[in-house]
């Protein structure tokens, strides 16, 4: 299965996919970054994976224009599954139409709790006893879409956001490659998950 990975930052989850999935059950055919400075781009280069930058400013701030260009670039590389791994931003309908029920996102909370860009800080501030990691199908709602997999994580009462962040990342680096591997091997049926969510 050919993957496209969308990134914006450090790309530690891209690295986990490179180490655990790439060249095995799937091939990362391309990496798209919304940020030219993303360390994730260096990780792609080091692994010999093609990458491209799609900054919003290069498309007049128009998300749909940027998304159409990005979808076209991925389609040229015959990408079948798109994985948002630390991609900041909401994908628009023209992008999602290119990959129906084939766009996954990784989020550092037990959705629907704590959507948005500050999920780990928000969970710490709320004093919850547990949080976790979610992999879900992407729709046009921020951190919405059918849940594909979740893993729980207890929050220690004395925990700092930095400590929790490190433990959440460790779970992410295991859960995301496992889910992608399952999809690639046909052990996880994204169409069935999407169908169930629509009924």
CA quadruple 169, 46, 9, 65: dihedral sign? negative
Measured distance CA(119)–CA(106) in Å, rounded? 12
Q: How far is the CB of 59 from ligand GRF (least distance, A)?
A: 22
The smaller minimum CB distance to ligand GRF, of residues 69 and 170, is found at: 170
In the numeric block, which tokens belong to residue 60?
């007049």
Does 107 participate in catalysis according to the annotation? yes
CA quadruple 81, 85, 87, 91: dihedral sign? positive
The residues, any chain, with a CB within 8 Å of residue 33's CB and separated by 6 or more, are 6, 7, 8, 40, 41, 51, 52, 53, 54
∠180-183-189 over CA atoms, to 5°?
A: 140
Measured distance CA(94)–CA(25) in Å, rounded? 28
The smaller minimum CB distance to ligand GRF, of residues 4 and 9, is found at: 9
Which residue from 67, 139, 172, 181 is in contact with ligand GRF, where contact means CB under 6 A?
Answer: 172
The smaller minimum CB distance to ligand GRF, of residues 66 and 107, is found at: 107
Which residue from 3, 33, 41, 86 is in contact with ligand GRF, where contact means CB under 6 A?
Answer: 86
Task: Give the pairing type, strands 147-154 and 130-137.
Answer: antiparallel
Binding mask 111-150 for ligand GRF (x = CB under 6 A): ----------------------------------------
Catalytic residue among 22, 107, 136, 173: 107
| Count of residues of this chain found to bind ligand GRF when the rule CB under 6 A is applied | 12
Using Cβ positions, the residue closest to ligand GRF within the complex turns out to be 86
In the numeric block, which tokens belong to residue 164?
């929790």
The smaller minimum CB distance to ligand GRF, of residues 67 and 172, is found at: 172
Which residue from 1, 2, 10, 73 is in contact with ligand GRF, where contact means CB under 6 A?
Answer: 10
The smaller minimum CB distance to ligand GRF, of residues 39 and 56, is found at: 39
Q: Contact region for ligand GRF (CB under 6 A) — 55-63, 68-76, 103-111, 146-154?
A: 103-111
**With contact defined as beta carbons under 8 Å apart, do 134 and 149 qualify?**
yes
Using CB under 6 A as the criterion, which residues of the chain lie in contact with ligand GRF when the complex forms?
A: 9-13, 40, 85-86, 106-108, 172
**Residues designated catalytic:** 107
């Amino acid at each position: 299965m050919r993957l496209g990975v969308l990134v914006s930052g450090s790309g530690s989850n891209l690295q986990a996919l490179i180490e655990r999935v790439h060249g095995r059950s799937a091939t990362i055919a391309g990496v798209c970054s919304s940020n030219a400075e993303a360390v994730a781009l260096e990780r792609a280069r080091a692994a010999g994976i093609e990458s491209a930058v799609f900054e919003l400013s290069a498309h007049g701030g128009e998300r749909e224009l940027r998304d159409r260009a990005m979808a076209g670039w991925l389609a040229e590389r015959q990408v079948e599954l798109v994985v948002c791994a630390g991609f900041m931003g909401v994908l628009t309908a023209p992008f999602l139409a290119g990959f129906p029920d084939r766009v996954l996102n990784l989020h550092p909370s037990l959705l629907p709790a704590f959507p948005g860009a500050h999920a780990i800080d928000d969970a710490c501030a709320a004093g919850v006893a547990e949080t976790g990691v979610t992999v879900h199908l992407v729709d046009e709602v921020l951190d919405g879409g059918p849940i594909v997999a979740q893993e729980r994580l207890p929050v220690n009462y004395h925990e700092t956001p930095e400590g929790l962040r490190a433990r959440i990342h460790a779970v992410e680096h295991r859960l995301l490659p496992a889910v992608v591997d399952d999809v690639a091997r046909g052990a996880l049926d994204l169409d069935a998950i999407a169908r169930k969510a629509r009924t």
